[in-house]
């Protein structure tokens, strides 16, 4: 991993003047050059540039909480939304957005989904976070307690008696659970 | 929390710049080690959990200790702040009969008669100590049912949604069943009050009414004499149905007044009803969208009024809906059945939807829902001929499921009771 901050934006000079690009560096050192309107959907990036007027185009903003894999997923979502906005600035084509979102999330494993939620939370993209938390809720809805522990990697720290008592107390909630 | 060090790296002073870079470097190494073990924060987790159906949410209390407390302390209070959807109706057929029926209702689909009724009634009846049966339904407020054991004159609260039952300490002064009200609002707190009202009869026509109030905070019954302003209603009989809303207790009198008891200041006001000049048919009281409503049938229309309690102009009532019964029958062929008793006076407002512009109207054998926005009239409940709803709306309660645990002092303290 490099400790140098402002060294790896060599290619930005070749991009056209019209479309300003912003360089974002993920935890594993990969630098993404992102079109400004797309990058500005990341609230953490927007406020960084808004708060620091003297940063230049050469500045590479490190995002140490975001992996390269998560960044690919995030940019795919933000670019699609920027495209919708550009085509229809007044109101997003709702059906198209929904179709895109459904296809987009179907391809993600549970691990990828969780990683993207953490990234979207860190980058503060409220729209994406809202969407992804809804997807996570759908994936655990009506699943067993064991499934949910595995999903979130939560350790069961109840004693067997405590758990048995809780299950007895909320017996009604355990009826008709889906197969894992 | 983590972004701040990044902001500094372009400072002009080379030394500071270097320091900041070193700081950032160290910070990034730390992150590198942590990223794989980072867990969902409580905020993030509760954002996900609050989107779950309540059944899954309750079940996931068994995931771990931290989930148990997150769900109880964050998710359920957050969900409970949203308006509770209407889940059904409770009703009782006569003052002397303990038998109750439940009909489930949802804003989309009406489930069949009695399908869930027996199991629903059984679900909370089984929580009550069987040696004190029978129990009478006394009140239903924000998802909690207030029952009284007739034989020992002791009150019980049941929350059918989470199968909780709390026994209220017995007041020795209570030797026969009184009218009682439950004052509970999950949006305010898990505490509640049970209020017994003493009938004022002609022998004490000059005395203010007395309330026995049990508070779950003090765990005591205390008797208060509550003066009414103006005192025109002393000695006048009351009508059984009560409504609790925002620290106030509402009750109708046979003199066509609304009594409003302020449970904090322990004062009361008597307000003339908007239809005080109509014959003495009793009206309906209920709450919709957080506002107290009074409704009645004036012989040709159902009239729904909102109470403007703090009115400066001296006029407390705002007419909200006026529904012409003939118009209803003309537009909806099945509404002809409202004529069943060939007497429009038998048509009554039975309930009002807690969150939507829907009212429930009917005759003792049939209840219809009427949507004020779409003008849609639907038959939601038919009673067998031999078991009509005898006293109309006084024993007809809306029920919304509540998932807040009531404060159960009996598990923590010895019972105490002052009266």
Nearest to B32 among A27, A143, A174 (CB): A27
pLDDT score, position A129: 93
A135 and A161 in a single domain? The answer is no
A25 and A97 in a single domain? The answer is yes
A107 and A164 in a single domain? The answer is no
Instruction: Calculate the average pLDDT of chain B.
Output: 77
What gap in Å lies between CA A55 and CA A157, rounded to an integer?
A: 48
Q: What is the pLDDT of residues A88-142, one digit of tens each?
A: 877 777 888 888 888 888 888 999 999 999 999 999 999 999 999 999 999 999 8
Structural domain contains residue A4:
no
In this structure, which CATH number among 3.50.50.60, 3.40.50.720, 2.120.10.30, 2.60.40.10 belongs to the domain B88-411?
2.120.10.30
Contact list, B49 vs chain A (CB under 8 Å): 137
Residue of B nearest to A116 (CA): B40
What gap in Å lies between CA A171 and CA B163, rounded to an integer?
A: 9
A166 and A78 in a single domain? The answer is no
Residue of A nearest to B162 (CA): A170
Contact status of B341 with chain A (Cβ, < 8 Å): no
A56 and A106 in a single domain? The answer is yes
A30 and A111 in a single domain? The answer is yes
Q: Are A142 and B58 in contact (CB under 8 A)?
A: no
Nearest to B31 among A64, A141, A169 (CB): A64
Judged by CB atoms closer than 8 Å, whether chains meet at B28 and A153 is answered as: no
Judged by CB atoms closer than 8 Å, whether chains meet at B47 and A177 is answered as: no
| % of chain B beyond a pLDDT of 90 | 20
Structural domain contains residue A180:
no
Structural domain contains residue A1:
no
pLDDT score, position B114: 40
Q: Which of B48, B72, B124, B159 to mutate to test the interface with A (most CBs of A within 10 A)?
A: B48
Sketch the domain layout of chain B as residue ranges.
45-82, 88-411
A57 and A92 in a single domain? The answer is yes
Nearest to A158 among B10, B27, B64 (CB): B64
Task: Quickly state the pLDDT bin for B170 (edges 50, 70, 90).
Answer: confident
- The whole-model pTM stands at 0.69
Answer whether residue B260 shows pLDDT above 80.
Answer: yes
A64 and A132 in a single domain? The answer is yes
What gap in Å lies between CA B21 and CA B218, rounded to an integer?
A: 60
pLDDT score, position B346: 74
A54 and A107 in a single domain? The answer is yes
Task: Quickly state the pLDDT bin for B213 (edges 50, 70, 90).
Answer: very high
Judged by CB atoms closer than 8 Å, whether chains meet at B25 and A177 is answered as: no
Question: Which structural domain, as residue segments, surrounds residue A100?
Answer: 12-140
A75 and A36 in a single domain? The answer is yes
Q: How many domains does chain A have?
A: 2
Residue of A nearest to B61 (CA): A166
Contact list, B2 vs chain A (CB under 8 Å): 64-65, 122
A30 and A100 in a single domain? The answer is yes
Phi, psi of B350 (to 5 degrees): -100, -35
Judged by CB atoms closer than 8 Å, whether chains meet at B59 and A155 is answered as: no
What is the distance in angstroms between the Cα of B90 and the nearest Cα belonging to chain A? 21
- For residues B167-188, average pLDDT: 82
pLDDT score, position A128: 92
A129 and A163 in a single domain? The answer is no
Answer whether residue A15 shows pLDDT above 60.
Answer: no
Nearest to B64 among A61, A140, A154 (CB): A154
Q: What is the pLDDT of residues B95-131, one digit of tens each?
A: 666 777 788 787 654 444 444 666 677 777 777 877 6
Contact list, A6 vs chain B (CB under 8 Å): 9
């Amino acid at each position: 991993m490099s400790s140098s901050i402002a060294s790896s934006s060599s290619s930005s000079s070749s991009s056209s003047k019209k479309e300003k690009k912003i360089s974002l560096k993920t935890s594993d050192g990969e630098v993404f050059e992102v079109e400004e309107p797309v990058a500005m959907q990341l609230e953490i990036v927007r406020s960084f540039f808004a708060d620091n007027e003297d940063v230049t185009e050469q500045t590479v903003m490190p995002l140490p909480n975001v992996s390269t894999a998560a960044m690919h997923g995030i940019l795919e979502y933000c670019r699609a939304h920027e495209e919708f906005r550009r085509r229809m600035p007044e109101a997003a084509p709702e059906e198209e957005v929904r179709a895109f979102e459904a296809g987009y999330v179907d391809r993600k494993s549970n691990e990828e989904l969780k990683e993207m939620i953490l990234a979207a939370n860190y980058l503060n993209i409220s729209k994406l976070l809202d969407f992804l938390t809804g997807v996570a809720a759908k994936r655990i809805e009506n699943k067993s307690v064991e499934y949910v522990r595995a999903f979130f990697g939560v350790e069961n720290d109840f004693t067997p008696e405590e758990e048995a008592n809780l299950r007895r107390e909320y017996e009604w909630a355990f009826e008709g659970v889906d197969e894992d | 929390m983590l972004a701040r060090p990044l902001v500094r790296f372009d400072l002009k002073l080379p030394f500071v710049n270097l320091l900041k870079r070193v700081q950032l470097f160290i910070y990034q190494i730390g992150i590198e080690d942590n990223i794989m073990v980072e867990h969902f924060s409580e905020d993030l987790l509760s954002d996900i959990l609050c989107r779950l159906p309540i059944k899954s949410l309750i079940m996931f209390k068994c995931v771990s200790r931290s989930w148990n407390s997150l769900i109880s302390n964050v998710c359920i209070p957050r969900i409970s702040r949203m308006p509770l959807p209407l889940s059904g109706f409770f009703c009782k057929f006569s003052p002397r009969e303990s038998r109750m029926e439940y009909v489930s209702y949802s804003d989309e689909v009406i489930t069949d008669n009695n399908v869930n009724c027996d199991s629903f009634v059984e679900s909370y009846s089984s929580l009550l100590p069987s040696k004190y049966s029978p129990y009478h339904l006394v009140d239903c407020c924000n998802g909690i049912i207030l029952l009284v054991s007739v034989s020992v004159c002791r009150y019980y609260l049941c929350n059918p949604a989470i199968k909780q039952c709390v026994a209220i300490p017995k007041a020795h002064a209570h030797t026969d069943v009184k009218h009682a009200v439950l004052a509970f609002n999950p949006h305010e707190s898990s505490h509640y009050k049970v209020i017994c009202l003493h009938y004022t009869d002609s022998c004490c026509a000059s005395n203010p009414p007395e309330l026995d109030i049990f508070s779950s905070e003090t765990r005591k019954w205390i008797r208060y004499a509550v003066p009414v302003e103006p005192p025109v209603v002393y000695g006048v009989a009351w009508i059984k149905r009560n409504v609790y809303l925002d620290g106030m207790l509402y009750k109708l009198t046979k003199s066509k007044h609304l009594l409003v008891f302020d449970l904090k200041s322990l004062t009361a006001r008597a307000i003339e009803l908007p239809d005080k000049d109509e014959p003495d048919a009793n009206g309906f009281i209920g709450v919709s969208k957080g506002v107290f409503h009074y409704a009645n049938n004036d012989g040709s229309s159902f009239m729904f009024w909102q109470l403007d309690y703090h009115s400066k102009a001296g006029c407390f009532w705002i007419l909200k809906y006026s529904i012409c019964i003939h118009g209803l029958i003309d537009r909806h062929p099945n509404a002809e059945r409202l004529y069943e008793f060939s007497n429009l006076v038998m048509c009554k407002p039975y309930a009002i939807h807690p969150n939507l512009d829907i009212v429930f109207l009917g005759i003792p054998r049939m209840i219809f829902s009427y949507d004020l926005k779409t003008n849609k009239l639907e038959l939601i409940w038919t009673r067998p001929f031999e078991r009509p709803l005898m006293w109309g709306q006084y024993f007809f309660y809306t029920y919304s499921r509540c998932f807040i645990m009531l404060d159960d002092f009996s598990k923590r303290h010895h019972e105490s009771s002052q009266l």
